[in-house]
Structure 1
């Protein structure tokens, strides 16, 4: 009896020690979030909760993501360029999509490292019931499976549920088919981000008492059309629905951060906040009939959603880990969304679980985030738009091979010679150096081409998975 009690006591102590050594990890992802959509980065609409959070840790002003929703979410979950995983663009309804079950996702890695894993909100990396988060490593999932625009499908006069799937909000547990909770329509979206927030908070409180480390991924649906706002924020800004949405996003993030404090786990919780791509700057007429949602600021940067310009790639990003990441630090070093997989694994003490049988494009930024080194471990970022290589950023130089100017453009320009820009001095990418400087900057193509050749060589050795393919692994 004594041995049994002693063994149980030792197991409990061991579990608590493990939990103390492994930080809880919360990833807050905002949809279509422009670099200038928070007041600490220039917005005239005040976002005090986000600003305070930014000052409590490390703010990254050169955090690079993919140019659309699905690719970034794929990159965060695999540490691999989305073109490798078959998720290089947002799929149209009915197109093959999702991560191959062979991929070793971040929640699978963290589960194997002893974490409880949950996803609340937008998934958008596979709409099929077998591709939802509860089949990709999450213990629990509550949210939407596809793009947020699905909320407006049933409002169109041509809508026919006999030929197109009705969008739903789902709930699912690991390894079991998710169940439909309710229709995902405009009324549901109006209060969805608040419900995502409340469910994430309830989970924080529950997991804080469990003695087990947890990973919670919270995918907000703001700022994605159709534009809706919780009734508490209707006309709260006196500046339109987009500004109202900025206030709601700030409020919801503040609620989550307060819950972490109230649960008494702030000191052992790594919180990451970022966007999935730049703002769309949606013009009037691009939204559902009767909406007024135009807005969004990408700060000083050119372009936005679905472009390879900086406005599409740079989103707000900040990381807090009290007493470990110095408060008030700001860095313009290049960091990529693909780095978060390896970096989170490192914070969780699970570097050994990062796969060796496939290319992992992300690098471990833990020491950089902790301030143990001044420089990022990344000096470049490669930009695909769909299947095409559009641009490569190397240090403060950007080379464009192709370009499109707007979110809804159907025409892409392919350049005879790469267009070279100094993005440090020319954030609008307006003054082209290759031609205007008498070819003096042609030399930058040598380090840029080396990175392209290295990637193409890797892709030849490890072929890219095709959209929707049930890949079984490399030989």
Structure 2
């Protein structure tokens, strides 16, 4: 057996803070029980203040690089055929794991580049299977007036390191229902293969659920009696349980850091509306409902069973995992993440970060520091209209979790530490200029 711990990182798509039973959702509140993920939370660390970026692309770029997406230029989704994703000069979590001697696999949604040189197998993964962009595209081929002569047909793809990636089959409304099942089977085979070879592995499993169109596998259709969204939530819970079971069956639980989290706040498109529970807003906003998402980490004997409200950010995953696997973090560029390993394992009672800056695309929208939140631009709901504030809004998130009552006039002292964070970040940008979005390799 390998002496290095395995890493399994499952990222749900558009899973809001309030969907899971262990976060106040589940059967009674959301129509679908989530017993497998709830059990996972009862066996590890459940974060109540884990924060991400505004939507799919920026969060995934932050996860892969440990850098805020404003630095990498990967801060928005664009249609197929246009420059997108991470430049090859960016260094990824998968490359770090590979350099540390790990077998690496990506099964699921990539969304960080859809041309040769930018697929997962070009960026540190030994193998991959999934979608290069997003699930919106499953609607393309059945849309009125769709013309494959001028529009790209979406495909599920696959590739291996050192080989070109290739189309496998059309990604449409039918294959949307079955893709997560496929991802699980490929993940299980990957873990079994490397366990037998006593090789440590890094499995990155970015599931498709619960992204719209939120359609369940036929085996789960009608299961809850609460519609497609609840059925899909039940399926997602089952799929996560399949991975947990495989790890346990391989007797790898004590040797595996298992992380389950979401990429951003809840789905807002009808009829697949999600919920952020007690928080206001959805993804594409700077509200807490966009920033805070579920995060559960299990590592028996290493991570205690606990729940806390300390700030952790998605950029922290890369340096944290670097410390876990003995990887080396690059020192030739700013890395915004900090290792949270001593915090997660109980050696430190508080997080190693006090706050962070929150951008939507290239606009600084908010700063979060301790229990305070400062908004420079006010847009509480998607497409409500971004209102740049002459006098920022300040909220205390314990006293006012829904961000309803501005208290800046009584607490201007908070501007000091917050604006120092902004200045430090801008100074680093002067020293290491940001990559413009869409820049070619």
1:116 touches 1:214 (CA, 8 Å); kept in 2? yes
Tell me which residue corresponds to 2:317: 340
Query: Are positions 1:207 and 2:191 aligned together?
Result: no
- Separation (CA, whole Å) in 1 of partners of 2:438 and 2:155: 21
Structure 2 counterpart of 1:360, from 332, 335, 338: 335
Q: Write out aligned runs for 1:38-437 (5 A).
A: 38-43=20-25, 44=28, 45-283=32-270, 293-327=271-305, 329-350=306-327, 353-407=328-382, 409=383, 411-434=385-408
User: What CA distance in whole angstroms lies between the structure 1 residues aligned with 2:34 and 2:417?
Assistant: 40
Mapped pair 1:453 → 2:430: no
Distance in 2 between the 1:441 and 1:263 partners? 54
**Residue 67 of structure 1: how far off its partner (Å):** 1.2
- Tell me if the contact between 2:213 and 2:272 (Cα under 8 Å) persists in the aligned partners: no
The CA distance in 2 between the partners of 1:221 and 1:425, in whole Å, is: 35
Is the partner of 1:130 in helix, strand or coil? coil
Contact 2:257 2:299 (8 Å CA) reproduced? yes
Q: Secondary structure at the match of 2:411?
A: helix
Offset of residue 98 of structure 1: 1.2
Instruction: State the 1:470 CA deviation.
Output: 4.1
Q: Residue 123 of structure 1 contacts residue 144 of structure 1 at CA under 8 Å; is this kept in 2?
A: yes
In the alignment, is residue 35 of structure 1 matched against residue 17 of structure 2?
Answer: yes
Deviation at 1:91, TM superposition (A): 2.2
8 A contact 2:88–2:117 mirrored in 1 = no
Stretches of structure 1 that go unaligned for 5 or more consecutive residues are 1-15, 284-292
Q: What SS does structure 2 have at the residue aligned with 1:384? A: strand
1:469 is displaced (CA, Å) by 2.1
Partners of 2:324 and 2:278 in 1: how far apart? 33
Distance between the aligned counterparts of 1:372 and 1:307, measured in 2?
Answer: 34
Does residue 462 in structure 1 map to residue 432 in structure 2? yes
Change (3 A) 1:459 1:404: same
The number of aligned residues is: 436
CA distance in 1, matches of 2:330, 2:272: 43
CA distance in 2, matches of 1:116, 1:445: 46
Contact preservation (8 Å) 1:64, 1:381: no
Provide the rounded CA distance (Å) in 2 between the counterparts of 1:105 and 1:470: 17
The aligned counterpart of 1:5 is: none
Range with bigger deviation, 409-418 or 260-269: 409-418
TM-score scaled to structure 2, two decimals?
Answer: 0.97
How many angstroms does 1:410 deviate by?
Answer: 6.5
Aligned to 1:27, the other structure's residue is in SS state strand
CA contact (8 A) 1:170 1:180 kept: yes
Superposition CA RMSD, Å: 1.1
Could you tell me how far 1:92 is from its partner in structure 2? 3.3
3-state DSSP of counterpart to 1:373 = coil
Q: CA deviation at 1:107?
A: 0.6
Deviation string 1:36-79 (CA, Å, 9 cap, x unpaired) is 11011111231000000011111001000001000000011000
Q: Which residue of 1 aligns with 2:411?
A: 441
Contact 1:101 1:470 in 2 (8 A): no
8 Å CA contact retained: 1:193, 1:222: yes
Contact 1:38 1:51 in 2 (8 A): yes
Which protein is bigger by CA-based radius of gyration?
1
Asked if 1 retains the 8 angstrom alpha-carbon contact of 2:46 and 2:308, the reply is: yes
Q: Secondary structure at the match of 1:131?
A: coil
CA shift for structure 1 position 227: 1.9
The structure-2 alpha-carbon separation of the partners of 1:411 and 1:175, relative to structure 1 and needing over 3 Å to count, comes to: farther
User: How many Å separate the matches in 2 of 1:76 and 1:275?
Assistant: 11
User: What is the deviation of 1:175?
Assistant: 2.5
Q: SS state of the match for residue 240, structure 2? A: helix
Distance change (3 Å), C-alpha of 1:161 and 1:410? farther
Q: Which residue of 1 aligns with 2:6?
A: 24
Separation of aligned partners in 1, 2:179 and 2:381: 28
TM-score by length of 1: 0.90
| Cα distance in structure 2, aligned partners of 1:275 and 1:346 | 22
